[in-house]
Amino acid sequence: MVEVPKLAKDISELRYSALNHLWMHNRDWVKTGEDGGPDIVVDGNGIEVTDIEGKTWVDVNGGYSSVNSGYGRTEIANAARAQMEQMQYFPQGTTTAPLIKLAEKIASLSPGDLQRSWPVSGGSEANETALKIAKSYHKRLGDNGRYKIISRRGSYHGATGGVMWLGGGGSSRSDYEPAVPGMIYAPQPNQYRCEFNGRTDEECAIRCAEAVENLILFHGPDTVAAFIAEPVSASSLAAVPGDPYWPMVRDICDKYGILLIADEVITGFGRTGKMFALEHWEIVPDIMTVAKGITSSYLPLAATVSTSRISDVFAGEQNLFRQALTFGGHPVCAASALANIEIIESENLVNNSARTGLYLLNKLKELQENHPIVGDVRGLGLLLGLELVKNRDTKESFTPKSGMSKILNKEFRANGLILFATDKGVSLSPPLCIKRSEVDFIIDGIHKSLSTVEKELSIL
Amino acid sequence: MVLTDEGEQLRRKSLEFLWMQNRDWVSMAEEGDPLIIEGGKGLRVTDSQGNSWIDVNGGYNSVNVGYGRTEIASAAYDQMVRMPYFPQGTTTVPAIQLGKKLAEITPGDLSRSFPVSGGSEANETALKIARAYHRRRNDDKRYKVVSRKGSYHGTTGGVLWLGSNPAAPRGDFEPEYPGMLYGPQPNSYRCELGGTTPSECAYRCAKSIEELILNNDPDTVAALIAEPIATPLGSPVPGEEYWPMLRDICDRYGIVLIADEVICGFGRTGKMFASEHWGVVPDIMTVAKGIISSYLPLAATVVSERIASQFAGEENYLRHVFTSSGHPVSAAAALKNIEIIEKENLVDNAATVGEYFKNQLMGLKENHKIIGDVRGLGLLLSVELVSDRRTKIGFPKELRVAERLNQKFRENGLIFRVGSEILNIGPPLCITTSEVDEIVSVLDKSLGELSTEVDIK
């Protein structure tokens, strides 16, 4: 067992090791060290985690929008141990019982005729697999010119070499140029900042969907392989598209023979108050990717789920889809996923996400009335976003120079919240087992934090 | 054979709901596949029908400590009960301990780990670090990546274009990533550049990489990536000159040298890391598979401080995130796995039993003309079959040599996948000499039968 040090001297030695030997996300080791970091978490229960100094935090981020069933679920650990003691691993080609059961379970939960799962270890791999399936699907049909992929500005689909070029709009890509050929970008149906000046949700949705069609016509429909999108984009602070959007996108894809890939990595497994978010619009994609909530991050697992119409073209020895990943279909991860899904179902966490999500959304809207910097409050289920603005009339965003997000992040910390703000705003995605009293605690912390920001930046 | 109802039901469901690697569900159904593996111990696994198998492939060259190590399950359980997960902006005790351990056991000044969940992610991370490194130094033109024909570095959108393997054509996924350059593989049995000894082949292949760089403008090349010993075409061990020359060439032209130790690392070749055989320290090293013996998904990109220091300071950080990076449960399992490798001296065992294994295979070669070459290092070994030793020509497709062998190995209780006329061996490192004898005797029998069937005397 990995011992947790208790003495201050040992803790500081551990922290020193982290600063010297770990390359962490989205921060550097010099600044982290100067700030007394990194934080080291050692324990968790429900929506709370405890750090090595014994301080307890409320995890409003839910890991990376991923710990759907919450922390401290011993049942998942028991399932993982039982499987690992019996059969630790075997490559796909042969297979293992928990993986078969998981694939059957995914097929039974997924909308429509989505039924065949290619299991992998993370959302990036799942989306890479989806793109590869889409590109080779067309080639199997002799439709060789299709290679372009449409994604949407403000979306995010992963960090590996193919999918990192999807979506975007941030600053991180120039480090890694050149981009993969054939990337095309459509608008994000975010009514608060509609690129086409749609004044209502419906109008913005219709114009953004029409823009997808225009883009396809401009590029030549027979050069486009797939359209990929999150049902509700977390990286666009949970902008929920107006109702016409998804049915129109489905029709457009059908009209031009383009595969529709739904990235449910964040939205899947109850996050938005349905098991999968596209159910809100009763849309069945051709390929759906899932990760995060499928194991609540207790172990790395993800999957690319295809309809038979797609997977059938790869049947037969000559038509094989050529891809292998060492850890694809890991039996211990599959056993954990099954235990996790059982918790989601038996505790009705999807319903709780819908109900408590609505409660949280309404509380956030109340906050908006008292806080001028809250420009927009939106989201679905327990995937919610606050867009923060300098001025509500002009909707002008904060710049890094304003220091807004720095103050806000500091205040969230001071109020015991693990919640990350950028200068654009804040997205909330706590574990789905969250209670109303916990929502009230979070709202109180956000209220205090926003007040401090407004005071320090003299925004009234 | 009578199947239990549950096993047969599961098998049918797997054909309906699973998309498996390198197999399709129609041909699997015809052959009564897939096997459903239910238990394992050491080198052996058991299927749902109660058959026991020897796993000559060691998973995917990845189950270094062997099957049935309950200590790893306990370590994973203890961690999961306590702290199952947290994103890597904050961190956890086992992630830190693993970062420290990797710094201790990797060669030279490799000291900082970006933990990820698999070899593909590790190599993608290495490429991203290499490109961003040059940009942090305003060396903005560098983006090309040199890899070698006959190498393999993963399956995601960037790394799938590295290396090449005739058995895995890439046409399905075109267009290719811009900036890919391909050097020769230093395989002295079939040296592309006509080298007749390992040294001569190594020298020519390294020189050829230098020419490739010169012909493509050295200022535009970001990185060179290579496995110390590449497995797709059968573990050719490069001549002694090769790796020191690659290191020099990279230094001369300011190119980041990435060693892909995904398969070679953690004892596979008889050293903890295969780069140690030639005393070469890469700028970036990627590890996966053996780091955790595949008990859970984990990998890492280990970087020298010279490279990493370009990313220090708030404005310079690397923008790159994976949900499961630094997973505490996988990290705890990896620590226990490395402890077993060290405590049981599995690296030494890989060297000594590997040498015994190779000698036995050399012995087979004397009796079987069909064996053209035996090569490898430690427990990463290969046997290449030919129809004629002099011309080194393989077999016509219609003889279905790989299929025949697969069937024979299966009939004789070996899990030993053969995709071509090259047999790749990568068993768990805890293998004993008597287990080697068992495998070699099946090989002896199978190759004898095959020789008769395809008329090689």
Q: Could you tell me if B236 and B185 are in contact, meaning their C-beta atoms sit under 8 angstroms apart?
A: yes
B41/B103 same-domain check: no
pLDDT of residue A126 exceeding 70: yes
Task: Say whether A327 and B294 touch across the interface (CB within 8 A).
Answer: yes
Predicted confidence at residue B435, as pLDDT, reads 98
Nearest by CB to B59, which of A90, A159, A314? A90
Residue A27: pLDDT band with limits 50, 70, 90? confident
Closest residue in B to A136 (Cα) is B172
Task: Say whether B135 and A175 touch across the interface (CB within 8 A).
Answer: yes
Task: Say whether A25 and B87 touch across the interface (CB within 8 A).
Answer: yes
Strand ordering across the sheet containing A417-418: A41-45, A48-51, A56-59, A417-418
Beta bridge partners, A239, equal A233
User: Can you tell me the distance from the alpha carbon of B205 to that of B227, in angstroms, rounded to the nearest whole number?
Assistant: 14
B276/B422 same-domain check: no
Predicted confidence at residue B23, as pLDDT, reads 86
B98/B47 same-domain check: no
B156/B253 same-domain check: yes
pLDDT of residue A444 exceeding 50: yes
Instruction: Find the Cα–Cα–Cα–Cα dihedral B360, B366, B367, B369, rounded to 10°.
Output: 120
Asked, for residue B22, whether it belongs to a domain, the answer is no
Q: 10 Å Cβ neighbour count for A392?
A: 13
pLDDT single digits (tens) A152-163? 999 999 999 999
Position A100, amino acid: I
Nearest by CB to B19, which of A20, A116, A333? A116
CA-derived radius of gyration, chain A? 22
The strand pair at B422-425 and B380-385 is best described as antiparallel
Collapse the DSSP code of B381 into the 3-class scheme (helix H, G, I; strand E, B; otherwise coil) and give the result.
strand
Q: Which of A326, A86, A100, A331 is nearest to B46 (CA)?
A: A86
Q: Which fold has domain A74-346?
A: Aspartate Aminotransferase; domain 2 (3.40.640)
Mark which residues 335-364 of B lie under 8 Å from A by CB. 335
Q: 10 Å Cβ neighbour count for B423?
A: 25
* Distance of residue A460 Cα from the nearest chain B Cα, in angstroms: 31
* Distance of residue B359 Cα from the nearest chain A Cα, in angstroms: 29
B46/B144 same-domain check: no
Nearest by CB to B103, which of A21, A90, A326? A21
Interface test with A, best of B5, B15, B21 (most A CBs within 10 A): B21
Nearest by CB to A178, which of B89, B128, B143? B143
Residues of A in contact with B311 (CB under 8 A): 23, 28
pLDDT single digits (tens) A390-401? 999 999 999 999
Residue B391: exposure state from Cβ atoms within 10 A (0-12, 13-18, ≥19): exposed
Which of the listed residues B309, B343, B377 is the one where a domain comes to its end?
B343
Position A123, amino acid: G
pLDDT single digits (tens) A354-381? 999 999 999 999 999 999 999 999 999 9
Nearest by CB to B297, which of A100, A115, A333? A333
Nearest by CB to A81, which of B45, B76, B173? B76
Beta bridge partners, B260, equal B286
Which of the listed residues B321, B343, B365 is the one where a domain comes to its end?
B343
pLDDT of residue A2 exceeding 70: yes
pLDDT single digits (tens) A46-83? 999 999 999 999 999 999 999 999 999 999 999 999 99
Task: Give the total number of structural domains in chain B.
Answer: 2
Mean pLDDT of A221-227: 98
* Distance of residue B132 Cα from the nearest chain A Cα, in angstroms: 5
B165/B189 same-domain check: yes
Position B123, amino acid: N
User: Can you tell me the distance from the alpha carbon of B174 to that of B158, in angstroms, rounded to the nearest whole number?
Assistant: 12
Which residues have CB under 8 Å from A366's CB, separation 6+?
Answer: none
Quickly list DSSP for A351-362. Answer: HHHHHHHHHHHH
**B64 touching A (Cβ < 8 Å):** no
Residues of B in contact with A322 (CB under 8 A): 22, 168-169, 172
Predicted confidence at residue A170, as pLDDT, reads 65
B423/B304 same-domain check: no
Position A304, amino acid: T
B274/B406 same-domain check: no
pLDDT of residue A168 exceeding 90: no
B333/B386 same-domain check: no
CATH number for position B243: 3.40.640.10
Q: 10 Å Cβ neighbour count for B78?
A: 17
Task: Say whether B34 and A94 touch across the interface (CB within 8 A).
Answer: yes
Which residues have CB under 8 Å from B339's CB, separation 6+?
Answer: none
Task: Catalogue the long-range contacts made by A14-19 (C-beta closer than 8 Å, 24 or more residues apart).
Answer: A14/A40, A14/A52, A14/B93, A14/B96, A15/A40, A17/B96, A17/B97, A17/B99, A17/B100, A18/B91, A18/B95, A18/B96, A18/B99
Which phi and psi (to 5°) does residue B376 adopt? Answer: 130, 180
Instruction: Provide the CB-side half-sphere exposure for B378 (13 A, CA).
Output: 31
Which of the listed residues B287, B311, B343 is the one where a domain comes to its end?
B343
Interface test with B, best of A61, A137, A298, A299 (most B CBs within 10 A): A299
User: Can you tell me the distance from the alpha carbon of B448 to that of B444, in angstroms, rounded to the nearest whole number?
Assistant: 6
pLDDT in tens, chain B (457 residues): 445 688 899 999 999 999 998 889 999 999 889 999 999 999 999 999 999 999 999 999 999 999 999 999 999 999 999 999 999 989 999 999 999 999 999 999 999 999 999 999 999 999 999 999 999 999 999 999 999 999 999 999 999 999 998 777 888 999 999 999 999 999 999 999 999 999 999 999 999 999 999 999 999 999 999 999 999 999 999 999 999 999 999 999 999 999 999 999 999 999 999 999 999 999 999 999 999 999 999 999 999 999 999 999 988 999 999 999 999 999 999 999 999 999 999 999 999 999 999 999 999 999 999 999 999 999 999 999 999 999 999 999 999 999 999 999 999 999 999 988 999 999 999 999 999 999 999 999 999 999 999 987 7
Q: Could you tell me if A101 and A289 are in contact, meaning their C-beta atoms sit under 8 angstroms apart?
A: no
Interface test with B, best of A19, A21, A151 (most B CBs within 10 A): A21
DSSP code, position A231: S
DSSP code, position B34: P
Residues of B in contact with A67 (CB under 8 A): 84-85
**B103 touching A (Cβ < 8 Å):** yes
Task: Say whether A88 and B175 touch across the interface (CB within 8 A).
Answer: no
Nearest by CB to B18, which of A100, A163, A177? A100
Nearest by CB to B84, which of A64, A298, A327? A298
Task: Say whether A5 and B63 touch across the interface (CB within 8 A).
Answer: no
Which residues have CB under 8 Å from A187's CB, separation 6+?
Answer: A152, A153, A195, A196, A208, A211
How many residue pairs bridge chain A and chain B with CB atoms within 8 Å of each other? 426
Residues of B in contact with A100 (CB under 8 A): 10, 13-14, 17-18, 36
For the domain A39-69+348-456, what is the CATH code? 3.90.1150.10
Residue spans per domain, chain A: 39-69+348-456, 74-346
Residues of A in contact with B74 (CB under 8 A): 1, 81
Which residues have CB under 8 Å from B75's CB, separation 6+?
Answer: A1, A2, B332, B333, B335, B336
Which residues have CB under 8 Å from B92's CB, separation 6+?
Answer: A40, A41, A42, B83, B86, B326, B328, B331
Q: Among the residues of B190-304, which ranges form H helices?
A: 198-215, 242-253
Residue B186 is part of which domain span? 70-343
Task: Say whether B314 and A31 touch across the interface (CB within 8 A).
Answer: yes
Closest residue in B to A144 (Cα) is B172
User: Can you tell me the distance from the alpha carbon of B253 to that of B214, in angstroms, rounded to the nearest whole number?
Assistant: 9
The strand pair at B37-41 and A417-418 is best described as unpaired
B418/B434 same-domain check: yes
Q: Could you tell me if A448 and A407 are in contact, meaning their C-beta atoms sit under 8 angstroms apart?
A: no
CATH number for position B408: 3.90.1150.10
B128/B276 same-domain check: yes
Q: Which of A183, A105, A127 is nearest to A341 (CA)?
A: A105
Which residues have CB under 8 Å from A345's CB, separation 6+?
Answer: none
* Distance of residue B193 Cα from the nearest chain A Cα, in angstroms: 30
Task: Say whether B312 and A28 touch across the interface (CB within 8 A).
Answer: yes
User: Can you tell me the distance from the alpha carbon of B135 to that of A161, in angstroms, rounded to the nearest whole number?
Assistant: 17
Predicted confidence at residue A437, as pLDDT, reads 98
pLDDT single digits (tens) A397-421? 999 999 999 999 999 999 999 999 9
Record the tokens describing residue A339, joined without a space.
């235990």
B146/B187 same-domain check: yes
Orientation of helix A201-219 relative to helix A245-256, angle to 10°: 20
